[in-house]
Homo-oligomer: A and B are copies of this chain.
Amino acid sequence: MTTTGSTRRRGRRPGPRDTRGEIVAAARELFSTEPFDRVSLRAVARRAGVDPALVHHYFSGKAELFLTATVDISADPEQVLGMLDGIPSQRHGAALVLAFTAVWDTAGRDGRFTEFATVMLSNPDLTSGAREFITTQIGARVTALADPRERELRATLALSQMLGMAMMRYVLRMEPVASMERTRLAEVYGPTFQHYLTGRLSASERLNSSPPAQE
């Protein structure tokens, strides 16, 4: 076991110990060097220096831990969404594409998105964790300006296009999406995300009395 920059995370620090964070950090280290099937929760606990029962206390299983660790490593909401700060909301659609690809283009082309998607597909139980993550972490941030009754819908629509875009770009590698410049990608997908985040989703759901926009 080599010492890495994150070794300090396992040391005692002033204040309460962040056990969950230490487990995620340990999982991240193991998942980044070992295939999913070869990482055991026991090994994660050992690396984090905690009792294996604590891993089970914080996570429903290896799949959820993997999701959390992968998301933390490659799509930390703050890392992606922090890029939106200071950008006018009417340009969030394109900005979201640029932020997502900034984080995922390298890892995605290395096959990490494929691994991520495969684990999701083979672990239906993951979805409860994924759902909560998306609703609380991503949905709340990205749709902060939206009507609260529509936030979950808007977040789900945006996620569906992000997932599909990533599948085409990193997994199926279908052209022209696979090799497209990020700025061009933001140009073709931006309006869709913008529509999902701030657009009028349907006539029956108009939220104010202004006349319907010409779309």
Give me the interface of A with B, judged by CB distance under 8 Å: 114, 117-118, 120-122, 124, 127, 130-131, 134, 152-153, 156-157, 159-165, 167-168, 171-177, 184, 187-189, 191-192, 195, 199, 201-202, 204, 213-215
A176-B152 contact given A120-B171, A121-B121, A188-B201, CB 8 Å threshold? yes
A168-B174 contact given A121-B121, A195-B191, CB 8 Å threshold? no
Across-interface contacts of A117 in B (CB, < 8 A): 117, 121
A192-B156 contact given A120-B171, A174-B134, A187-B204, CB 8 Å threshold? no
- The answer, among B165, B187, B204, for a CB contact under 8 Å with A160, is B165
Whole-angstrom distance between the Cβ of A163 and the nearest chain B Cβ: 4
The reply to whether B118 and A118 contact each other, CB–CB distance below 8 Å, is yes
Whole-angstrom distance between the Cβ of A162 and the nearest chain B Cβ: 7
Residue of B nearest to A204 (CB): B187
